[in-house]
């Protein structure tokens, strides 16, 4: 019977195995910190295997910084931690498929590697911008001169400086680069083949981030650098920078091309146009002339920047709706030329110099359908009616215009006061979710959750498009301490946040703001729309391993140790804690339904109708083991002390071989 590992997957070992399957001659051995042999890569030989010329010298095109290698090692290093369920802080625990995870996102991403490998359709993150100004995030990643000098080797043996350090040196970027690099490496593994990542950033690190993303995701998978123009002024002496960036990458561009996936979004402002049109129809009935006149006047009166103004060419009306007079000639010339008779004069109309847009048979169909608009007589070239309801979508633009102050005001109204500095706009993220092709049951991940804007955006997108997307949010529960901030706006915002958290009897940390925002946003959307979507979320919290300090991982375990261990599980851990720890190792999603039942006095947990059945009681009798085996689960797990002795454990193995030979059985 196998023992569960109870730690995150060793990605370095997995990568070595993958390389070994392609280049077995590049696999060698080395000694680990315990003096045991382990697999390793002969990198010099691997480089030669990947080149058709002799490798000579160290020159290569690359982007590097102090700490890059350490960041790679850190990303791949396994951890002995777990996620503990917190039902009392969740909403609709038993029904929801959304997750809110509290903890350091690097460690959480490691724990999610098996359960969500290749399962996340979209990632949106708003990481620290490396400005040093955010009151909740610790986001000034400039190293001290001493730290940078020690790591980069810029001192000689007598500790003399070898070059002058200025503000343009890498110490202001290296720590930030390492922080984002390791997290992006792990997050890429979670994306589906048609997955996408959007990353918000400002001018401080946009160029650096682009180079890192090119390395992690591949430059060929770069889609675009979106410009988010917030229209917000600042007190700069030179240029009032009022925009940010959103870098966008595919997981696999080749997959996107092979499956002919395209992005489309509903044009902005259409709802306003339709509302005005319906009001005019109600006023004028079938009087298209007056409807057109008032519709044109309405467009003209709209303020600059109103999204409906971009579609003011859709100002003509017939009994089928709103349209604009489109060109009916062949683009670039060379189209077919034939006679088209005017419906009133019955004389041939003027043929466009570039020829007609289509052949004669299709033209006759268009005329019969009323899609061709003729002039008063045959002297004018007809036009093609392009109806608005046929052209409601378009390829998204790379520039997004959205007043950033509006999102702050909406959040302040939702939570009763301004409790968060510069939250991201949920309506902008909603647009990203809608146009990038996410669909029913797709997962949207945000591992820099902040005020939980992404969860709010998922709710909105699901309501508008009648979808069932799910979210996973990850956020460090960083404390909010107003007293540590200087008097000013930021301190006032922190004080407001503390007051809100006191009113709901919650600890003073950023996660509690996010969870309360999700609760209130869900209630508000449901009250306004009545939409029947998943407004809940399961709360999970990063914690040390469920196993005691004397616990050894599977590869370190010795059968002789059994007699020394009364229990290898911490006293404060519940059955559900153990169950969710097993889900992580066995790669099962954390959002599926489960039930607990009593069988002959033992508590048995069944996850997702038999994906996993677990019993963590002591001295489990054979009848209970047989009942579990007869259900033929895919996986079964017990505790070491579920069995009185080694013969009892061997008997369990035999029971499953007989009754459920395909069930994988493990113990913790």
Distance between CA atoms of 455 and 461, rounded to whole angstroms? Answer: 10
User: So what's the pLDDT on residue 160?
Assistant: 46
Mean pLDDT of 607-624: 95
Phi-psi region of 667 (alpha: psi -120 to 50; beta: other; left: phi over 0): beta
Token readout for 654 is 């035999």
Q: Report the first-to-last Cα separation within the chain, whole angstroms.
A: 11
Q: Which residue has the higher pLDDT, 134 or 291?
A: 291
Phi, psi of 663 (to 5 degrees): -80, 130
Kindly write down the DSSP assignment for every residue of 285-301, as one continuous string.
TT-HHHHHHHHHHHHHH
At 59, the pLDDT band (50, 70, 90 cuts) reads: low
Distance CA 82, CA 574 (A): 13
- The dihedral sign for the CA sequence 471, 474, 477, 480: negative
| Span 173-185, average pLDDT | 90
SS3 state of residue 446: strand
pLDDT for residue 133: 44
Over range 230-248, report the average pLDDT: 81
Which among 577, 509, 547 is positioned nearest to 641, based on CA atoms?
547
Helix or strand holding residue 83 (H, E) = strand 81-85
Mean per-residue pLDDT, 316-342: 94
Residues β-bridged to residue 318: 321
Q: Where are the domains of the chain?
A: 270-394, 404-442+451-542, 565-667
Segment 564-580 mean pLDDT:
85
Q: What is the pLDDT of residue 139?
A: 44
Among 302-306, 378-382, 510-514, 557-561, the least confident range: 557-561
Tokens 């730690």 correspond to what residue? 7
CA atoms within 13 A on the CB side of 352: 19
Write out the H or E segment, with its range, that includes residue 444. Answer: strand 443-446
Question: Does position 272 have pLDDT exceeding 90, yes or no?
Answer: yes
- Region class of 334: left (phi > 0), else alpha (psi between -120 and 50), else beta: left
Residue with tokens 């002995």: 80
Dist CA 580 CA 598 (whole Å): 19
The pLDDT of 508-514, averaged and rounded, is: 96
Give the C-alpha separation, 304 to 299, whole Å: 10
Mean pLDDT of the chain: 88
The pLDDT-based confidence of 135 (bands split at 50, 70, 90) is very low
Between CA 668 and CA 569 the distance in angstroms is 8
């Amino acid at each position: 019977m196998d023992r569960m590992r109870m730690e995150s997957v060793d990605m370095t070992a997995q990568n070595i195995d993958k390389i070994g399957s392609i280049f077995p001659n590049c696999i060698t051995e080395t000694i680990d910190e315990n003096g045991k042999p382990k697999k390793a890569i002969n990198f010099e030989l691997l480089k030669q295997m990947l080149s058709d010329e002799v490798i000579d010298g160290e020159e290569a095109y690359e982007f590097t910084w102090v700490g890059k290698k350490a960041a790679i090692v850190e990303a791949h290093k396994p951890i002995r931690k777990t996620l503990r369920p917190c039902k009392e802080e969740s909403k609709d625990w038993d029904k929801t498929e959304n997750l809110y995870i509290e903890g350091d996102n690097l460690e959480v991403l490691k724990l999610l590697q098996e359960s969500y490998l290749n399962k996340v359709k979209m990632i949106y993150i708003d990481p620290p911008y490396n400005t040093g100004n955010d009151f909740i995030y610790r986001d000034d990643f400039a190293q001290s001169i001493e730290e940078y000098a020690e790591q980069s080797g810029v001192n000689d043996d007598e500790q003399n400086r070898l070059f002058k350090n200025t503000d343009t040196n890498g110490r202001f970027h290296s720590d930030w680069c390492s922080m984002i690099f390791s997290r992006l490496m792990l997050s890429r593994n979670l994306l589906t083949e048609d997955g996408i990542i959007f990353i918000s950033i400002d001018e401080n690190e946009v160029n650096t981030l682009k180079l890192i993303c090119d390395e992690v995701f591949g430059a060929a998978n770069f889609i675009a650098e979106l410009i988010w123009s917030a229209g917000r002024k600042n007190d700069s002496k030179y240029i009032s920078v009022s925009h940010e960036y959103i870098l966008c990458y595919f997981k696999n561009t080749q997959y996107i091309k092979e499956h002919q996936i395209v992005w489309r979004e509903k044009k902005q402002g259409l709802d306003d146009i339709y509302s005005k049109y319906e009001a005019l129809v109600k006023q004028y009935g079938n009087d298209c002339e007056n409807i057109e006149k008032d519709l044109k006047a309405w467009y003209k009166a709209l303020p600059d920047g109103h999204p409906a103004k971009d579609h003011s060419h859709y100002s003509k009306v017939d009994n089928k709706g709103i349209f604009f007079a489109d060109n009916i000639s062949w683009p670039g010339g060379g189209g077919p030329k034939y006679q088209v008779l005017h419906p009133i004069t019955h004389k041939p109309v003027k043929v466009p110099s570039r020829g007609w847009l289509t052949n004669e048979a299709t033209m006759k169909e268009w005329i019969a359908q009323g899609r061709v608009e003729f002039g008063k007589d045959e002297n004018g070239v007809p036009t093609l009616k392009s109806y608005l309801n046929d052209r409601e979508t378009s390829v998204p633009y790379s520039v997004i215009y959205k007043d950033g102050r509006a999102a702050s005001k909406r959040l302040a109204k939702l939570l009763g006061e301004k409790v968060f500095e510069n939250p991201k706009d949920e309506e902008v993220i909603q647009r990203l979710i809608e146009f990038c092709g996410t669909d029913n049951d797709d997962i949207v991940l945000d591992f820099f959750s902040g005020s939980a804007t992404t969860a709010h955006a998922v709710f909105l997108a699901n309501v508008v498009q009648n979808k069932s997307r799910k979210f996973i949010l990850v956020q460090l529960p960083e404390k909010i301490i107003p007293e540590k901030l200087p008097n000013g706006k930021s301190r006032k915002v922190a004080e407001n946040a503390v007051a809100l958290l006191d009113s709901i009897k919650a600890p003073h940390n950023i996660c509690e703001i996010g969870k309360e925002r999700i609760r209130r946003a869900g209630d508000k959307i449901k009250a306004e729309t009545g939409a029947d979507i998943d407004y809940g979320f399961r709360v999970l919290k990063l914690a040390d391993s469920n196993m005691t300090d004397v616990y050894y991982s599977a590869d370190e375990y010795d059968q002789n140790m059994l007699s020394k261990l009364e229990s290898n599980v911490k006293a404060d851990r519940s059955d559900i804690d153990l169950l969710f720890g097993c889900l992580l190792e066995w790669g099962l999603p954390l959002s599926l339904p489960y039930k607990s039942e009593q069988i002959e006095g033992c508590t048995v947990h069944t996850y997702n109708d038999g994906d996993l059945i677990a019993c963590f009681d002591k001295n489990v009798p054979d009848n209970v083991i047989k009942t579990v085996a007869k259900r033929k689960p895919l996986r079964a797990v017990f505790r070491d002390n579920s069995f009185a002795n080694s013969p009892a454990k061997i008997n369990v193995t035999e029971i499953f071989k007989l009754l459920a030979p395909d069930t994988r059985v493990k113990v913790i």
